[in-house]
Amino acid sequence: MCSPKNIDLCDADKKAEIQKYQAMDAKELEKLIEEKEAELEKTEKDFEAFIEGLQKQFEDEMKVKDEKVKAIKASGLGLMKAVKASASSGKDEL
């Protein structure tokens, strides 16, 4: 596997990248690592915030749907179906 200890296994691009980092001052390399880790952490936090937003949006829409379904059923849907079923079964008897 390509790594600084197995540089002979790397392609030319990776070798150049490894050599670039090896040539850096330790403090410079540490600063670059910290910047990339901060970038990674921000990306993770942004994603978590996005997921939380989706979850809240989902929960809000579920409440709206549940309320609408309840209102529709309470508006007489059950009785309408019962009347229809009764009328249909009454026709079969004739």
Q: Is 1 helix (H, G, I), strand (E, B) or coil?
A: coil
CA distance 71 to 36: 52
Residue type for position 9: L
Q: pTM (2 decimals)?
A: 0.62
Q: Where are the domains of the chain?
A: 4-93
Please report the pLDDT score of residue 87 as a whole number: 87
Please report the pLDDT score of residue 90 as a whole number: 64
Mean pLDDT for back-to-back runs of 10 residues, the chain (94 residues): 94 96 96 98 98 98 97 92 86 54
The CA-atom distances, in angstroms, between 83 and each of 1, 27, 41, 88 are: 74, 82, 61, 8
Please report the pLDDT score of residue 55 as a whole number: 98
